[in-house]
Structure formats: structure tokens, C-alpha cells
Structure 1
């Protein structure tokens, strides 16, 4: 079981996201108001705070949202979750893991600063099956 550390959004793709503290996950769409939301398999991105801390240990001044993730989590090993795993997020929302990691076609600013980036290897993507409000501090857990 893990918890939500940040709920992040941006109006345009290719930008760092800002923590908005809470938002609405919309079924078959994603995080309301986020540029990456839509009818596809990567509606919402998740990255663990533990992954961000690796980059901080490398000397970068980064935090939640800087890797363009929608939900920053803590206490759950995201990249080890099998595809198809259902996650309950908060009291209502449910998402299904559709992708682990991603291919970076262009190197982001983080890669150029550190020579590495955690999102392509340790970030995951989900499709929202059941919508609901998500807030900082909410529980994230695998649904059986």
C-alpha cells in the first residue's frame, strides 16, 4: 500500500507539472485539465517519490511534477507492478496499469542535467476505469 504525495497537472505537453493538491480522475479520460488526458492507454502517469529521491541524491534539485508525472506516490514499488494490475486511488478511483516505463524520443532537461532520467525506466501509466477525486495523502493500493 502506498500514498499520494502530489497530484500534478500541466496545460501543455512537454512541461513540468505543478502540484494542485487534488483533482478529478475521469473514467476513460484521465486527470481533468491535464494535457495528457484523453482516450488512450497512457491517461495518467505515476512516479514514486523514491525514484525522485534517486535523482536528488545525484545532486538535482527536483521534486514532484518535475518529471511530468500526474501522481507522485510513496511506499509502492510501481515498476514491479504487472501490466493489468488494478490500483485503487483514493476512495473511489480505479486505474489499470497499461505501460511500465516509456521510450524517450528526445532527451529531456533532466537527462541533460544529470545524464539520466528515472521516468523512462520507473514511471508507469494507467487507464482510468472508475473516476473519482484524488487528493494528496490518499491511499494507493492494489485491488484484488
Structure 2
């Protein structure tokens, strides 16, 4: 994971499936991406707000691995950074293999804590028909494994840019696998 880097950063101040790429984003401790519609202490995802708007926001920053774009590209889909709604696109790190509670230093200052897996939704098929099936896999025993990135909360704020390095700090064991949040 020595070569883990950020390849793109994205944010959007309005609800939209895709997020435009930016030159930089600012992470704010306890809130998320400054100016992003999903920033906040409590849930901001519309379906979760409908269930219980007082729940903590465990989905402040969405990270997705650029390698997924190549994987779905092999199946005929063209996906670019920000198009699946992520805030941070990464390369060279197995995001899905990280345990819950992992700290990721993004650039010089910002630190996020990994909370779980993104639960892919039907909007992915609205974006490109058939893509949802490509971003959901199965593990060795047949359990469904979402592959559309991970979610995190901001522990330390800071500026994040494409090209920034990612440093991983694993939590004390025993490690807990990521679950959908």
C-alpha cells in the first residue's frame, strides 16, 4: 500500500447521482466534504433520512477504487471518477479489504475513519443499465459483497487533492470486516 494515491476528488452541493471533479476538496472534522450535499452530523442520504433523520452520518466521505472502473470496463461499461457519486477516487489500495475503524490519512492533514461498505442502489442502473450487477460480487461462500466503495467519517479536517498519498493505519485487532452502512 506504499503507492496508494488519490486520483480524483469530487463534490456536489445538490442531490445528484454523479459529482463533478474538483481541483481539491476540504474535509471538515465531524461533517464531511465542505459544501457537499452529504456533509453533516446526521444522515443526509435521502432514503436514510426518510427512515430516521436523527441517525449519525456514517457516510460523510465516499471513497471508491479506480481499479473498479477498469473491472467494469472489461464488461463494456465506461465509468469515470465522480460518476458513481464518490468524493475520493483512489488507486493502489484495497479499500474493500480494510477492516472497520481503519484510519486513512488523505494528503498532509486530513484523516478519515472507515465505517463500512457503500450499499449500491438502483440509481447505478439508472446511470448505466446493467452496471449495478457489475458492482455487486460474491465471496467464497456465496455472500453478497458490495464493490462500490467504502464510507467514512472525517476525524481530522484538511485539504485533499488528486496526487495526494494515502497512508493506512489499521485498528488494533481483532479486525472487524466491513459491513454495509
The RMSD of aligned alpha carbons is 1.8
Equivalent residue for 1:133? 159
Give the 5 Å matches for 1:84-123. 84-104=101-121, 106-108=122-124, 109-110=126-127, 112-114=129-131, 116-118=133-135, 120-123=146-149
Choose 1 or 2 for highest CA Rg: 2
CA positional deviation for 1:121 = 2.4
Equivalent residue for 1:124? 150
Q: Conserved in 1, the CA contact under 8 Å of 2:116 and 2:150?
A: yes
Q: Counterparts of 2:59 and 2:111 in 1: how far apart (Å)?
A: 14
Q: Which of the pair is proportionally richer in strand?
A: 1
Q: Counterparts of 1:48 and 1:115 in 2: how far apart (Å)?
A: 16
> C-alpha offsets along residues 15-62 of structure 1, whole Å, 9 cap, x if unaligned?
201110211011001111111111111100000000111112211221
Equivalent residue for 2:22? 20
Q: Counterparts of 1:23 and 1:76 in 2: how far apart (Å)?
A: 20
Unaligned runs of 5+ in 2: 42-56, 137-145, 171-181
3-state SS in 1 of match to 2:62: strand
Larger deviation, residues 87-96 vs 10-19: 10-19
What is the aligned length? 143
Unaligned runs of 5+ in 1: none
